[in-house]
């Protein structure tokens, strides 16, 4: 069983040295990849720039921009049973890229215009077969449950995992899991490694018996 995992941040460059990005260490993605290996399956990881390592058994595809992650995922998803979107891709990119480093203004600040980047999980949700599943992660600072459920519907996911900024660059965190009906299926506090095991077990159940997170 191949399971696609997106992991880490992406970067959208303003000039050759400056970029927009999201806070993400890739630790959750690595924990998920390790759990997939331990359960006898193959993790296919599409990762942005991170300092952590993925298990040697993983098939890792390195990317930098959201567009690159989008294209890799579209190419890889057809041969996977499911996808877990643990990455924090940058949602916006500068409309214009400066070939030269932007000089600091002598007076005032600097403004620039941005456009939206591709929505990776929404695109995968649109082509998802009946024998495939998808799980989204939603990191929110307010109205978390509401926004997580909105994301679940927009991306046509089977489940969404809600967490908070406290989880960034941490080995442990709190997670809430919601299904497509809006019901909270789990509340978990502990290591990302332990949570990855629970999430993967439930995803495998979902693949064999698509009735939800029945363990919880």
pLDDT for residue 172: 80
Strand pairing category for 92-94 and 114-116? antiparallel
- Is residue 101 one of the residues assigned to a domain? no
Q: Decide if 66 is inside a domain.
A: yes
Count Cβ atoms within 10 A of the Cβ of residue 35 and give its class: 0-12 exposed, 13-18 middle, 19 or more buried.
buried
pLDDT tens column, 98-141: 999 999 887 778 888 999 999 999 999 999 998 899 999 988 88
In-domain check, residue 190: yes
- Is residue 118 domain-resident? yes
What is the pLDDT, as a whole number, of residue 165?
79
Residue 80 lies in a domain: yes
Residue 103 lies in a domain: no
Q: Could you tell me if residue 8 is inside a domain?
A: yes
How far lies 133's CA from each of 78, 146, 149, 159, 169, in Å? 11, 22, 16, 9, 27
What digits encode the pLDDT tens for the residues 41-67? 999 999 999 999 999 999 999 999 999
Residue 215 lies in a domain: no
Find where tokens 């495998």 sit. 204
- Domain span holding position 166: 2-94+114-208
CATH of the domain at 20: 3.40.50.10300
Q: Per the structure, how many domains does the chain have? A: 1
């Amino acid at each position: 069983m191949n399971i696609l995992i997106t992991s880490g941040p992406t970067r959208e460059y303003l000039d050759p040295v400056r970029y927009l990005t999201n806070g993400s260490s890739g630790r959750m993605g690595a924990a998920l990849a390790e759990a997939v290996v331990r359960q006898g399956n193959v993790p296919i990881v599409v990762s942005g720039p991170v300092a952590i390592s993925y298990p040697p058994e993983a098939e890792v595809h390195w990317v930098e921009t959201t567009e690159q992650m989008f294209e890799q995922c579209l190419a890889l998803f057809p041969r996977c049973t499911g996808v877990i979107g643990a990455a924090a891709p940058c949602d916006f990119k500068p409309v214009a890229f400066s070939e030269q480093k932007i000089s600091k203004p002598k007076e005032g600040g600097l403004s620039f215009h941005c456009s939206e980047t591709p929505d990776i999980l929404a695109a995968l949700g649109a082509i998802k077969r009946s024998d495939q599943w998808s799980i989204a992660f939603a990191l929110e600072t307010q109205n978390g449950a509401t926004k997580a459920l909105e994301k679940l519907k927009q991306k046509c996911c089977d489940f969404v995992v809600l967490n908070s900024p406290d989880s960034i660059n941490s080995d442990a965190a709190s997670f809430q899991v919601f299904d497509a009906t809006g019901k909270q299926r789990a509340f978990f506090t502990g290591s990302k490694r332990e949570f990855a095991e629970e999430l993967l077990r439930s995803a495998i159940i979902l693949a064999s018996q698509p009735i939800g997170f029945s363990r919880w």
